[in-house]
Amino acid sequence: MLALIQTIVMALDLYWWIIIASAIFSWLYAFNVVNSKNQFVGSIGNMLYRLTEPALRPIRRFMPDLGGIDISPIILLLVLFFLRQFLLTTVAPLVLG
């Protein structure tokens, strides 16, 4: 059972970095730092969008309009941090019990 918890924590950590990469990529794309006509850049952006948008879309539905500022990745990172800490501090000790 501990191996399952460790695997879930590792998946949460990996998704954490994917969300950060997606946010950084969106800033680079918005400020024309990366070449948007490059097929490789487009495929990376599409991959990051497809990986993060299903989790960010429900958060964006409930967020008020902040005038072009999207804080949904921050909220998702907080949720992931909570889940990770809950698994490590509450569930894991019960399993090891």
Tokens standing for 19?
């969300």
Q: Binning pLDDT at 50, 70 and 90, where does residue 65 land?
A: confident
pLDDT digits (tens, 9 = 90+) for 2-59: 899 999 999 999 999 999 999 999 999 999 999 989 999 999 999 999 999 999 999 9
pLDDT digits (tens, 9 = 90+) for 67-93: 888 999 999 999 999 999 999 999 999
Quote the pTM value: 0.90
Q: Residue 67 has what pLDDT?
A: 84
Q: How many CB atoms lie within 10 A of CB 3?
A: 7
